[in-house]
Structure 1
Amino acid sequence: MSIRRITLLAMLSALCVVGRMAFAHIPNVQPVTSIIIITAMFMGPANGLILGFISTVLTNMTLGTGIWTIWQIISWSMIGLVSGWIGRAHEKWGIPFVVLIMYAGFCGYFYGFVISLNMLLLSDRFLAYYLAGVPFDTNHAIGNMIFFSLLYPVMSRIFIHYLKKGPFSSI
């Protein structure tokens, strides 16, 4: 992995931390998932996994760490992996933007489901716990769709420029 990629991942991790902190007052609405999706689509599955891991660890250092941190790492890392594969398919076949927005929404529900899996280990009330979290997952899904719609056009242009031409040439 090049210094350029490591630096870009560090900046994106910082963006995830700032974005999550800025929206911490709105339950389950933050740009982290969308940033991970877009990053993985352009930089590949491995980089999506790395960003999911680093972003979780860094944000939880300020927002609090607990048993959920493991599940957040698993969830965001899996979203990064799958999004990287979707990015390859998008590059090859051109997935419509509306479908990508719907995928971002689905990732909100997927994230909530994976987070809820810890209740399988801790309690026999998984279904009740999961269903109680569905409104929060809906917030996450809607937030992802909005953030993805806003961030994708900007970030895709930056990624294409940065990864193909280099950081110091004019946009």
Structure 2
Amino acid sequence: MSTKRMSRVAILAALAIALRFAFASFPNIKPIAAIFLICLLYFPLFDSLLIMTLTMLGSSLLFGFGIVVCWQILSFAGVLLLWKYLVLPLIKSGKLSIPLQSFLAGFSMFFYGFLISLLSAVQYGVNPFVYWLNGLTFDLLHVLSTALFYPIIYHIFRRFLE
């Protein structure tokens, strides 16, 4: 990995950690999911997964480290893979407008919420469906914040990276 590439990954991970910390007082309202999804527009999958993993590990040093960090990493990795192989080809072909991309980015956070709820329910030995239903309002905040942050971050990245 080149120095330029390592620096870009480190800077974007540090930015995501700082933004996660800045929005810490708002439950599940953070721009990091939008950052991860937009990174896939400009960087390879490996770099995007590395940015996400470093962000989750780095921010866990500030917020507390537990097994839930592993579930966050696995759940975000699932969302990034889904985005890479299902949505990104449509974006690259020009078939998706920014508002539709924002909607899909937000909607993908329901998938994240489902994955992390499933993993947490298995960990705690509770009914996964009930556990997921109990967290739907929390997931809805994640969906709305990602959909709102996506166009803002998209335009910032586009300005600096194209």
Q: TM-score, normalised by structure 2?
A: 0.90
The alignment covers a number of residue pairs equal to 160
User: Which is bigger in relative contact order (C-alpha 8 A, separation at least 6)?
Assistant: 2
Aligned match of 2:144:
142
Task: Give the Cα–Cα distance (whole angstroms) in 2 for the partners of residues 45 and 110 of structure 1.
Answer: 19
Does the aligned pair in 1 maintain the 2:75–2:112 contact within 8 Å?
yes
The one-character-per-residue Cα deviations of 1:56-96 (angstroms, maximum 9, x if unpaired) are 11111111111211110111222233333433442234422
Does the aligned pair in 2 maintain the 1:56–1:73 contact within 8 Å?
yes
Classify 1:12/1:37 alpha carbon distance in 2 versus 1 (closer, same or farther; 3 Å): same
Which piece of structure 1 moves more, 38-47 or 20-29? Answer: 38-47
Aligned match of 2:155:
153
The yes-or-no answer on 1:78 pairing with 2:81 is no
The one-character-per-residue Cα deviations of 1:5-29 (angstroms, maximum 9, x if unpaired) are 1111111000110110011111111
CA-CA distance at 1:146 after TM superposition: 0.8
CA-CA distance at 1:120 after TM superposition: 2.4
The one-character-per-residue Cα deviations of 1:23-59 (angstroms, maximum 9, x if unpaired) are 1111111111000000112112222211111111111
Aligned match of 2:36:
36
Which piece of structure 1 moves more, 142-151 or 116-125? Answer: 116-125
Aligned match of 1:55:
55
Which piece of structure 1 moves more, 27-36 or 102-111? Answer: 102-111
Q: Which runs of 5 or more structure 2 residues have no equivalent in the other structure?
A: none
Aligned match of 1:133:
135
- CA RMSD of superposed structures (Å): 1.6
Q: Which runs of 5 or more structure 1 residues have no equivalent in the other structure?
A: 161-171
Moved over 6 A (4+): none
